Amino acid sequence: MVDSSLVRSAVALLAALLVSIVGASASFAQAPAPSADSSSSSSTQIPTPPRTPENTSPAAEAQRQQVQPLNNAPVWREVRSNMPGTTTTTVVGRETNVLIQPQGQTWRTLRNSDISVFGGWALVVLFLVIATFYWIKGTLALHEPPTGRVILRFTWLDRFIHWSTAITFSILAISGLIMLFGKAVLLPLIGYTLFSWLAVLGKNLHNFAGPLFSLCVLMLFFNFVRDNFPGPGDWQWIRHFGGLISKHEPPSGRFNAGEKLWFWGGASMLGIIVSMSGYVLDFPNFDQSRQTMQIAHVIHSIGAVLFMLGAMGHIYMGTLGMAGAYDAMRTGYVD
């Protein structure tokens, strides 16, 4: 069985982190755009005509400089719109002549509002659901008292692959939460110096653990796929929710339908999604554009949050939820 004090400590730390995320969600509001009144002083604002081919000629530029000297707003509008010929550079590379990328603001808003807020609340709500379920049902006991006769359920290779995946995932999850919520949650608590050190450490751990995790996902898939194909009793297991609510647990093979759903939807599909999008972010020297990396980051963040949601249920069932489940993956044997 799992050490109860260790489990309580882990649950308390997770609860504190998730409660902090709730407070962080509200702090991701964007600053309002400056109003026209605040951007102008007592001086009179002269309206600027729209930039058209007719008024961008050298003669038109000279006339505009006489009427509006030192007004570079039209130039920066062209820079912002990335009009051809506006900026030039001798540096060879993709987007080296792009000074302002407007899509970056769209990405920042999406990250700091929808992904952070809804993702944070989803983690908190699921944690509360699991805690409530455990408070009502407790640990699901075995059907019969232990006999003392044990059989091998997981080989050393099964356990090595499982725990390698679990450890790398835990590193990625913790460091990812620091990068997503650390500025709003940890920075006010520990200050700039300690947070900067922690953020750099988390970023480097995330970058190096990511490729290892993708390798573990591949090993996990090929090692367990033969026992995770749909079987005749899976639908009955789903209908009865695996006996979690009722006391009737339908029979299943080596893995039940819930474990198969986690294998295909979580460990395999989401594992591949976060791995492939993570490679785009981890190796920016493959000449991908900023917009490509922004799209990859959105996919990576959403996939990672979904992965963590599924992992919370998987970890619960493997520790507190089911008697003997943790010992089976720790020793390989079951009664």
* Residue bearing the bigger pLDDT, 303 or 138: 303
User: Domain span at residue 203?
Assistant: 106-334
Q: Is 326 within a domain?
A: yes
Find out whether 284 and 96 touch, Cβ atoms under 8 Å: no
Q: Is 323 within a domain?
A: yes
Q: Is 197 within a domain?
A: yes
Question: CATH number of the domain that 185 lies in?
Answer: 1.20.950.20
Report how far residue 288's alpha carbon sits from residue 279's, in angstroms, rounded to the nearest whole number.
11
Q: Is 54 within a domain?
A: no
Number of domains into which the chain is organized: 1
Q: Is 25 within a domain?
A: no
Using CA atoms, how far residue 220 sits from 256, 284, 327, in Å, is 17, 27, 19
| Cα Dmax for the chain | 96
Mean pLDDT is lowest, of 47-51, 67-71, 173-177, 212-216, for 47-51
> Which tens digit of pLDDT belongs to each residue from 166-199?
999 999 999 999 998 888 888 999 899 999 999 9
Q: Is 214 within a domain?
A: yes
Report how far residue 315's alpha carbon sits from residue 312's, in angstroms, rounded to the nearest whole number.
5
Three-state DSSP at 3 gives coil
Q: Is 148 within a domain?
A: yes
Q: Is residue 111 classed exposed, middle or buried when 0-12, 13-18 and 19+ CB atoms within 10 A define those classes?
A: middle
Q: Whose structure tokens read 């554009």?
A: 289
How big is the chain by its Cα radius of gyration, in Å?
27
pLDDT beyond 90 at 146: no
Three-state DSSP at 157 gives helix
Candidates 169, 214, 158; CA nearest to 312 is 169
Mean pLDDT is lowest, of 56-65, 213-222, 284-293, for 56-65
Report how far residue 241's alpha carbon sits from residue 235's, in angstroms, rounded to the nearest whole number.
10
Find out whether 123 and 305 touch, Cβ atoms under 8 Å: yes
pLDDT of residue 41: 39
Find out whether 266 and 310 touch, Cβ atoms under 8 Å: yes
Q: What is the pTM of this model?
A: 0.75
- In the beta sheet, which residues pair with residue 151? 334
Report how far residue 308's alpha carbon sits from residue 174's, in angstroms, rounded to the nearest whole number.
10
Q: With pLDDT > 90 as the criterion, what percentage of the chain qualifies? A: 41
